[in-house]
Amino acid sequence: MAIRPADCHKLAKASLVTGLVSMAILAIALFAICIGKLAGIWRWIYVVSAVAALYFNFVALVVQAFLKVPVF
């Protein structure tokens, strides 16, 4: 089933916000790898930021999947 044009605006806005948050969190993870060398507290910062980015990506997947399901 195709997405109606009225739903595309909501889908784009939700994807944009979730994508920006996920990219910001992944930037922190990249900083922990490159600059912190995963030493000391940087290892925990990397783990927490990677899990948070995975969570936001999964939430975006679920939201977009439910937007494509037709309403009765």
pTM of the model: 0.75
Averaged pLDDT for residues 39-68: 90
The predicted structure's pLDDT at residue 60:
81
Structure tokens at 20: 């920006």
Instruction: Report residue 64's pLDDT band, with 50, 70 and 90 as the boundaries.
Output: confident
Kindly report, residue by residue over 4-48, the tens digit of the pLDDT: 666 566 666 777 788 889 999 999 999 999 999 999 999 999 999
What tokens appear for 10 in the block?
Answer: 């909501």
Side-chain-facing half-sphere of 24: CA atoms under 13 Å: 7
Question: In terms of Cα–Cα distance, which of 21, 28, 35, 34 is closest to 50?
Answer: 28
What pLDDT, on a 0 to 100 scale, did the predictor assign at position 4? 65
Rounded to the nearest 10 degrees, how much is the dihedral formed by the CA atoms of 29, 35, 39, 40? -80
Output the CA torsion 16→17→19→21 (10° steps). Answer: 160
